[in-house]
A and B are shown apart, each in its own frame.
Chain A
Amino acid sequence: MRYYLRKFGFYLAALWAAVTLNFFIPRMMPGDPVSILMAKLQQRGGSVNPEARRAYELLLGTDTGEPLARQYLSYLGNMLHGDFGISVSAYPVPVSEVIATSLPWTVVLVGIATVLSVLVGTGLGMLVGWRRGTWLDALVPATTVLAAVPYFWLALVLVAVLGSALGWFPLIGGYDVDFTPGWNLDFLGSAVHHGVLPALTIVISSVGGWLLGMRNMMVSTLSEDYVLTATAKGLPNRRVMIWYAARNAALPSIAGFAISLGFVVAGSIVTEQVFSYPGIGSKLLEAVQNNDYALMQGIFLVTTVAVLGANLVVDLLYSVIDPRTRAGANA
């Protein structure tokens, strides 16, 4: 129980840190983002109603003479309600709505790609570590090249080869615009078809890290006494490999999930840009290019919450896999 409380407490602290960071960054930076936003809004023919202006001021800070503490409290209130103001680039849609339509795309894409990459990488790492000294060792240096390739570069090469040259997959977009988004087969099929290349990019680029981490831990674990015991017990090789070696070797990879997820999220933002994928990464860049600070801030917060949530889920999962954490011994 203590373990869970600690974890929840930690993620609350992290969330608070992110929200606060989000409050201070625009205030510390040069320039007056609120006036830029208001000017943009007027260009688009938007009326500057006081409510929208207030939301911007709280989000981005401007010299209104209001004490910082009061601004901060009102800002927290707005964040709680999900009120990030109006998006300029998608005027007059509120930021929360822009995020709501694009978030599912990213969550599904990054989620599936990450799960695939973890499974493939850990599985291969287990085999490479288990059969150390065989030809499988050659996989290790090979994957380092893949891990060092920039995501977007790989994405563009994949597009050029599998998309343009061979025509197997569509070049850009998240689905065929002929179909209406919804729970129908045509749309889902086209979404999967469009998702293959972006997902492939993420999997290829991130699988090496999982493989290497698992392989190294596997090698260390294989010299543990309990693996020797399992061998002496005459258990089948598969059982020794999976239940004695891999079960223990996977623990540090899972504990280090946060680092890996950070890289995947970073990579997928750039990847989305390459594919003009209708996800949150493309929206973030659109926001940056249009000085849509409100949307930018909102996306940063939502991404952070999603990443924190994913890490929390993994931490809770970890306590199921490693009984020692539940006793509070290792928390």
Chain B
Amino acid sequence: MTDLGPDSPAPRRAVLPRSSPKLVTGLALIAAIALFGVAGPLFVGEPGAINDIGLAPPGGGHLLGTTQLGQDVLAQIAYATRGSLYIGVLVGVMATVLSALFGIVGSYVGGAVDEAFSLFSNVMLVIPGLPLVIVISAFVPPEQRGAWTIAVVLAVTGWAGAARVLRAQTLTLRNREYVLAARVAGEPAWRIIVVEMLPNLLPLLASQFVFSVIAAILSEAGLSFLGLGASNSSTLGTMLYYAQNGFALQRGAWWWFVPPGLIIALFGCGLALVNFSIDEIIDPKLRTVPRRIRQRRRAPAPVERPAPDTAVSVRNLSVTYGNAVPAVKDVSLEVRRGEILGLAGESGSGKTTLAYAINRLHRPPAQVTAGSVTFHDRDGGDVDVLALPPGELRAFRWSQLSVVFQGAMNSLNPVMTIRAQLEDVLATHRPHLSRSDRRARCARSLELVGVDPARLRSYPHELSGGMRQRVMIAMAMLLDPQVMIMDEPTSALDVVVQRGILREILRLRDELGFAIVLITHDLPLLLEVSDRIAVMLGGEIVECAATEEILAGPRHAYTRRLLESFPSLTGERGAFVRSGEATGGAR
């Protein structure tokens, strides 16, 4: 879920849909058709009036031509639209009430009621609706088959899908803090549901309502077309039924047949477009973002190797989200071979954005607006990372610079085995390796981080959080990279596991000699393990110095504040992790 890391601005949850071309078009379509259905019949003539000019094409006295019996098509459509809308809204309301009853109430009450309601909804869901509707309608004699009967039957057979969606959402809502608080405060259940939960369920209810209106209008049209619709009512479906039985299309009378279908399609399209906007409230990720942003020319070119032991140079790098304020401002930084460089700062200070930009993992709307990133290979040769073409960028990633992401819980693909996820790194970057060599290397890498190679066959959900993070570290070392970026590698784990993993990382760094950029908000931890520390504030590096210097005399006021906020920093630095002795109070 860490789209752009914690440093990205959090999307605000809106209550009303944002205005967008889709929403405006959708609302316009719905309003126009609804207006036509409501007011249209007042302005057109009698739809049943028979005339002696049958099947007249559009024009003259009949804007949309006439039917076989000479009835005015426009007048018929106006009345039929009214009929279809009536049934659609009726079913929409009834189905939404039913689904709310079974979905929300059931899952709120929980226990056996929820089990029973959920089973009932699921059974209703898998039993095919239309055959059931047809059977029921067929048993009701035509004279008793009014619009209400049809609407009730459609609602009874059509609420189950919505109930399931609502149930899932209610289940997550009922464990939110404010709902739990209200329960503890002893508010009655109906009040909690209506006051606390319903506002949060509204977008979902609205979208399900819209969906059932579309489904009802379509189903009613289908039923009427089969001659099973409401008797004595005029809907777009009955109109199509008469048009078909009058061989409208065969006689070329498209004006009789095409418009009713188009109205259904346009109305459904309008509702679906409104639903898009509602979906975007429910899931803000769905808002379209421009994918490609024209790359602005970066001023500084790649830099010469400043010192023989430099692994990465970042020069004057700026990263912006869209056209807003930069998240990273004019940052210059060097990573030396084999060192641990700590990157400290609070959430939103731009440290994750900076780390991602170094590997070009930032996603739109984030873009690099200035600066350069140069990778200095240990075998000589400098790589201008920001200018690499896609193929070379892919080859560069992981083999020279690998990343361990924050939230190790989600970094592994839940539907692939550990082996497959380790092996595809080798298959991509070392295609010449034989299958057995690949397997051997994967097993060895797990042993290196203290995970039983038998775990290769496991899926991520079968591993503990600490083990998953160890697997990620094994994966990051698989290609013997020169630099490893670790973004909060241990913050989701408990302290003991955390320390164990850090100790492992330090040991491996000593053995294999890669440099580590360690990002964390946990300053005491950085003071223990890193060689140098860079402190970020508001997208800028305010201080970058050796750890001893920072500890002895921080120059920037912010660094001082950071240090002062950890009063228990008394023991010798690094004692715990480096020697393994428990000094206590380290965190």
Task: Please list the residues of chain A having a beta carbon within 8 angstroms of any beta carbon in chain B.
Answer: 10-11, 13-14, 17-18, 21-22, 25-26, 29-31, 33, 131-134, 137, 140-141, 144-145, 147-154, 156-157, 159-160, 164, 216, 219-220, 223-226, 228-236, 239, 243-244, 247-248, 251, 258-259, 261-263, 265-267, 269-270, 273, 284-285, 287-289, 291, 293, 296-297, 299-300, 303-304, 307-308, 311, 321-324, 327, 329
Whether the pair A14, B461 counts as a contact (CB closer than 8 A) is no
| Assembled-state Cα–Cα distance A289/B137 (Å) | 12
Whether the pair A150, B225 counts as a contact (CB closer than 8 A) is yes
Contact A243-B127, Cβ < 8 Å, known A26-B139, A225-B410, A226-B410 = no
Any A CB within 8 A of the CB of B112:
no
Q: With A140-B276, A265-B128, A308-B126 given, name 6 new contacts (CB 8 A).
A: A10-B123, A13-B123, A18-B127, A148-B265, A323-B459, A327-B461
Q: Which residue in B126, B257, B267, B269 is a CB contact (below 8 Å) of A307?
A: B126
Q: Give the top 7 A-B pairs by smallest Cβ distance, nearest first.
A: A148-B268, A133-B291, A266-B130, A234-B397, A153-B261, A29-B139, A144-B272
A312 to chain B, nearest CB (A): 9
Contact A30-B144, Cβ < 8 Å, known A225-B411, A239-B428, A243-B413 = yes
Whether the pair B125, A258 counts as a contact (CB closer than 8 A) is yes
Chain B residues with CB below 8 A from A152, complex form:
221-222, 225, 240
Whether the pair A234, B395 counts as a contact (CB closer than 8 A) is yes
Whether the pair A224, B125 counts as a contact (CB closer than 8 A) is no
Contact A156-B257, Cβ < 8 Å, known A219-B286, A248-B415 = yes
| Assembled-state Cα–Cα distance A21/B135 (Å) | 11
B363 to chain A, nearest CB (A): 8
Contact A266-B128, Cβ < 8 Å, known A322-B415, A327-B461 = yes
Whether the pair A147, B222 counts as a contact (CB closer than 8 A) is no
Q: Which residue in A13, A133, A147 is a CB contact (below 8 Å) of B288?
A: A133
Whether the pair A288, B228 counts as a contact (CB closer than 8 A) is yes
For A288, the closest partner residue in chain B by CB is B138
| Assembled-state Cα–Cα distance A140/B178 (Å) | 37
Whether the pair A14, B126 counts as a contact (CB closer than 8 A) is yes
Whether the pair B397, A223 counts as a contact (CB closer than 8 A) is no
| Assembled-state Cα–Cα distance A151/B261 (Å) | 10
Pick the most buried of A147, A232, A258, A267: most chain B CB atoms within 10 A of its CB. A232
Chain B, interface SS category: helix
B124 to chain A, nearest CB (A): 8
A30 to chain B, nearest CB (A): 6
Question: In the complex, how many residues of chain B place their beta carbon closer than 8 angstroms to a beta carbon of chain A?
Answer: 92
Whether the pair B461, A219 counts as a contact (CB closer than 8 A) is no
Task: Please list the residues of chain B having a beta carbon within 8 angstroms of any beta carbon in chain A.
Answer: 1-3, 22, 119, 122-123, 125-132, 134-136, 138-141, 144, 161, 214-215, 218-219, 221-222, 225-228, 237, 240, 244, 249-250, 257-258, 260-261, 264-269, 271-273, 276, 279, 283, 285-286, 288-292, 359, 361, 364, 393-399, 402-403, 405, 407, 410-416, 424-425, 428-429, 459, 461-462, 472, 475
Chain A residues with CB below 8 A from B127, complex form:
14, 17-18, 21, 304, 307-308
| Assembled-state Cα–Cα distance A305/B356 (Å) | 53
Contact A231-B292, Cβ < 8 Å, known A26-B139, A148-B267 = no
Chain B residues with CB below 8 A from A324, complex form:
414-415, 459, 461
Whether the pair B410, A239 counts as a contact (CB closer than 8 A) is no
For A140, the closest partner residue in chain B by CB is B276
A268 to chain B, nearest CB (A): 9
B456 to chain A, nearest CB (A): 14
Contact A17-B222, Cβ < 8 Å, known A156-B257, A236-B428, A299-B131 = no
